[in-house]
Amino acid sequence: MALAAARRLLLHAGSRLGRREAVDGARRFANKRVLVETEGPAVMKLRNPPVNSLSLECLTEFTISLEKLENDKSIRGVILTSECPGIFSAGLDLLEMYGRNPAHYAEYWKNVQELWLRLYTSNMILVSAINGASPAGGCLLALCCDYRVMADNPKYTIGLNESLLGIVAPFWFKDMYVNTIGHREAERALQLGTLFSPAEALKVGVVDEVVPEDQVHSKARSVMTKWLAIPDHSRQLTKNMMRKATADNLIKQREADIQNFTSFISKDSIQKSLHMYLEKLKQKKG
Ligand SMILES: CC/C=C\CCC/C=C/C(=O)SCCNC(=O)CCNC(=O)[C@H](O)C(C)(C)COP(=O)(O)OP(=O)(O)OC[C@H]1O[C@@H](n2cnc3c(N)ncnc32)[C@H](O)[C@@H]1OP(=O)(O)O
């Protein structure tokens, strides 16, 4: 209830801010964690430092920004990228899944589902400019896009690495992975929790193109120009034909998926795995 009210407030605040910035001449709107520029091809920048983890607030602001873009009929495509140096997104926020209560887990998961459904079934053209590390939920965001351009920096990796954390990618993450890289590659990468270098990601099909780091944005823009040349109605119907079954698979069992996530993540053994993983992240800093 409190979260729904917060969402309404954010939506209201977001649209006020959007109007004010538009009056200033810069066609952009922003909330704290997502900046959207609508001059030229629309660009959505995640800015939730240090690592663009998808906290509940970040998910909410992302979903609201997307909703606003979908409602603006002049926007046909969006480039998704990051403002955090070296990080596209560290994925779901581990602190939303660790040490909380079942009601929180359920609320969080509902918002993860919501963002995924909106992104994956968006009528807009989505191109990701992957300018940094993109594990798990970060990879999920990229996989929702129609085209993925990644920076050629071997320090940046991408993939669904959930099994390394002692957790399991849900069936709809898996479905999208299979749709993108095929069953055999997905089966292997999911079990091993593979984080692919840009070159490997290109080879296996996790990304469509790898370019020098300073060209990621210009390449994403030129890809967008090419896609914008296709009539919307035929592209949208085709996208819908390709993606509907995968989205419907979640839509028909959303509540059961929330229950499943909540009971899985609440288990002592899973909480212990997450604790160990968080400790490992801390120790890495030394
Ligand atoms: C039935 C279904 C059940 C479950 C399904 C759940 C599906 C889950 C999907 C997910 O997305 S889980 C998240 C997976 N993400 C990761 O494994 C990434 C972990 N992070 C990293 O590998 C690195 O942080 C990095 C993204 C490569 C960046 O490295 P860098 O050296 O630049 O930063 P550092 O590691 O020092 O991190 C800074 C700071 O941020 C915290 N952090 C990192 N990732 C997350 C995260 N995903 N959530 C929350 N917090 C995160 C990290 O602990 C550091 O915090 P500190 O400064 O307080 O120590």
Any domain includes 139: yes
Q: Which atom of ligand 1 is nearest to the CA of 137?
A: 11
In a domain, 157, yes or no: yes
Checking if the pLDDT of 215 tops 70, the result is: yes
In a domain, 82, yes or no: yes
Mean pLDDT score, 239-244? 98
Establish whether 260 is a catalytic residue.
no
92 is catalytic: yes
Active site residue 162: yes
Helices of type H across the chain: 2-23, 56-71, 102-120, 137-143, 171-181, 183-192, 198-204, 216-228, 232-251, 254-266, 268-285
Q: Catalytic residue among 18, 77, 132, 137, which?
A: 137
Among 116, 139, 279, 281, say which to mutate for ligand 1: greatest number of ligand atoms within 8 Å of CB: 281
Q: Is residue 40 part of a domain?
A: yes
Boundaries of domain holding 45: 28-284
- Find tokens 């140096």 and name the residue: 85
Give the pLDDT band of residue 252 (cuts 50, 70, 90).
very high
> Total structural domains in the chain?
1
- Ligand 1 within 6 A of CB of 168: yes
Tell me the two tokens of residue 83: 């403002």
**Complex prediction ipTM:** 0.99
Question: pLDDT tens digits for 21-45?
Answer: 443 445 788 889 999 999 888 999 9
Active-site annotation holds for 179: no
| Cβ atoms 104, 59 nearer than 8 A | no
- Does position 13 have pLDDT exceeding 60, yes or no? no
Name the catalytic one among 48, 131, 161, 200. Answer: 161
Please report the pLDDT score of residue 249 as a whole number: 98
| Domain-embedded: residue 18 | no
Q: What pLDDT is stored for residue 7 in this prediction?
A: 53
CATH number of the domain encompassing residue 208: 3.90.226.10
Q: How far apart are CA 108 and CA 195, in angstroms?
A: 25
Nearest Cα neighbor of 195 from 168, 167, 159, 165 is 159
- pLDDT, residue 4, reads 52
Helix (H) or strand (E) holding 135: strand 132-135
Place 274 in a pLDDT band, splitting at 50, 70 and 90: very high
* pLDDT value of residue 284: 83
pLDDT grade for 244, boundaries at 50, 70 and 90: very high
Does the CA dihedral 186-191-195-197 come out positive or negative?
Answer: negative
What pLDDT sits at residue 217? 98
Distance CA 284, CA 100 (A): 24
For residue 254, report the phi and psi dihedrals to the nearest 5 degrees: -60, -45
pLDDT, residue 30, reads: 87
The predicted-structure confidence for 155-164, as pLDDT tens digits, reads as follows 999 999 999 9
Q: What is the pLDDT of residues 55-82, one digit of tens each?
A: 999 999 999 999 999 999 999 999 999 9
Report yes or no on 23 lying in a domain.
no
Q: Name the band, by pLDDT with cuts 50, 70 and 90, for residue 189.
A: very high
Q: Is the pLDDT of residue 270 over 50?
A: yes
Q: What is the mean pLDDT of residues 206-234?
A: 98
> Which two tokens mark 191?
């079990």
Q: Which residue has the tokens 């320090």?
A: 155
242: CA distance to ligand 1 center in Å? 31
Residue 17 lies in a domain: no
Q: State pLDDT tens for residues 79-118.
A: 999 999 999 999 999 999 999 999 999 999 999 999 999 9
Q: Does residue 6 lie within any of the structural domains?
A: no
Count of C-beta atoms within a 10 Å radius of residue 260: 14
**Within a 10 A sphere around the Cβ of 35, how many other Cβ atoms?**
16
Full-model pTM? 0.93
Which residue out of 162, 190, 200, 274 is catalytically annotated? 162
Band of residue 121 on the pLDDT scale cut at 50, 70, 90: very high
**What percentage of the chain reaches a pLDDT higher than 70?**
91
Question: In the predicted model, what is the mean pLDDT of residues 189-215?
Answer: 98
Q: Give the Cα-Cα-Cα angle 163, 169, 174 (nearest 5 degrees).
A: 120
Pocket test for ligand 1, best of 51, 113, 153, 265 (most atoms within 8 A of CB): 51
